[in-house]
């Protein structure tokens, strides 16, 4: 099979028939063998009824997954990736803001130019500038800096992947924003970008609020930490804890030496128990010990993890 199109959706009953017809037209025009995988993320409208009708019309090409409740886009993509059978996997939103006409070029870039992943870049957007465009630019600038992946729109829903990529990454929590980073961490480093058309929303309203930017930064820090220290937590916690303990111990020695010097020379000095520097130094020593122990416990957890020796083998002779 040439292409699997994964379409996560939540309350998109109005747009689904038009999207389906558009996708079928593109696939048939280009002669692709394909499947459309709709993942209903707990919709409360009639989206599932629409999908059911489409599946009855084309049972061999339309497949569907329905969640009992709303779990989020990452969960929908994860299940869609597991179900995909095509050599190239395309993800796109169901709100008609992504154009299916971009699929042939995305497919060509994967199959002929050898990209592992191609991300869309909505260079010209029709969103509200203040609430979406400006925060998005700041978000993507930070993501480029942290991940080292030079994409202008990392969170674009329209992406193309080689099948091997989606079968070897795990999309969890709200990490769908950073699938290129997940792919890079898994060893799929040939990541490209294509300028794609952004269309105005015809039906419904956006399902994402401004909180996605706050959550996005927190998730980015989580991924960076897991990639850097996920299998060696002692390298972070042990180092920071040891430094804090040493600094605290040196500070305690200095404060005690100053106290002894004052006593030896008959100089009045405050009691150690009332000296704020002494308490700060003790606190640093305690925190240092706690961080060191956190790293030690992390190493014990990793040692007993079933995934501690999970490595992606590219080829074997």
Span 77-92, mean pLDDT?
96
Residue 6 has pLDDT above 60, yes or no: yes
pTM for the whole structure: 0.78
Burial class (CB in 10 A: 0-12, 13-18, 19+), 263: exposed
Domain of 176 in residue numbering reads as 3-229
Average pLDDT, the chain: 87
Helices (H), 171-275: 179-185, 211-229, 233-264
Low-confidence winner among 45-49, 104-108, 224-228, 263-267 (lowest mean pLDDT)? 263-267
Q: How many CB atoms lie within 10 A of CB 47?
A: 24
Q: Choose the final residue of a domain: 185, 206, 229.
A: 229
Q: Choose the final residue of a domain: 191, 208, 229.
A: 229
pLDDT tens profile 112-145:
999 999 999 988 776 655 556 677 778 888 889 8
- d(CA 293, CA 313) in angstroms, rounded, equals 34
Q: What was the pLDDT predicted at 128?
A: 59
Q: What was the pLDDT predicted at 244?
A: 93
Q: What was the pLDDT predicted at 3?
A: 97
- d(CA 37, CA 172) in angstroms, rounded, equals 19
Number of domains the chain contains: 2
Residue 316 included in any domain:
no
Strands, DSSP E only, in 73-183?
Answer: 88-91, 117-121, 159-162
Highest mean pLDDT among 17-31, 115-129, 171-185, 294-308: 17-31
Span 83-108, mean pLDDT?
95
Burial class (CB in 10 A: 0-12, 13-18, 19+), 170: exposed
Q: Choose the final residue of a domain: 229, 261, 284.
A: 229
Q: Are the beta carbons of 178 and 185 closer than 8 angstroms?
A: no
Residue 261 has pLDDT above 60, yes or no: yes
């Amino acid at each position: 099979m040439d292409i699997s199109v994964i379409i996560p959706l939540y309350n998109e009953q109005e747009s689904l028939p038009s999207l389906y017809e558009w996708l079928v037209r593109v696939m048939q025009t280009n002669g692709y063998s394909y499947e459309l995988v709709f993942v209903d993320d707990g919709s409360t409208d009639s989206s599932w009824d629409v999908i059911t009708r489409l599946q009855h019309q084309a049972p061999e090409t339309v497949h569907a997954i329905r969640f009992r409740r709303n779990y989020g886009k990452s969960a929908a993509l994860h299940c869609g990736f597991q179900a995909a059978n095509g050599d190239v996997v395309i993800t796109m939103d169901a709100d008609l803001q992504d154009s299916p006409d971009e699929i042939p070029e995305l497919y060509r870039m994967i199959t002929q130019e050898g990209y592992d992943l191609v991300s869309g870049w909505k260079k010209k957007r029709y969103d509200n500038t203040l609430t979406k465009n400006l925060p998005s630019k700041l978000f993507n600038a930070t993501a480029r800096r942290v991940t080292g992946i030079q994409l202008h729109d990392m969170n674009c829903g329209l992406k193309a992947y080689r099948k091997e990529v989606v079968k070897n990454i795990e999309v969890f929590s709200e990490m769908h924003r950073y699938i290129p980073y997940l792919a890079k961490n898994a060893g799929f480093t040939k990541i490209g970008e294509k300028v794609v058309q952004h269309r105005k929303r015809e039906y419904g309203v956006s399902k994402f609020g401004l909180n996605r930017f706050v959550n996005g930064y927190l998730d980015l820090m989580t991924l960076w930490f897991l990639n850097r220290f996920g299998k060696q937590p002692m390298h972070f916690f042990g180092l920071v804890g040891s430094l804090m303990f040493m600094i605290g111990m040196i500070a305690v020695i200095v404060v005690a030496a100053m106290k002894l010097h004052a006593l030896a020379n008959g100089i009045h000095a405050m009691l150690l128990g009332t000296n704020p520097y002494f308490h700060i130094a003790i606190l640093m020593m305690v925190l240092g010990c706690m961080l060191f122990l956190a790293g030690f416990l992390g190493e014990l957890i990793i040692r007993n993890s079933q995934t501690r020796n999970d490595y992606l083998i590219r080829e074997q002779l």
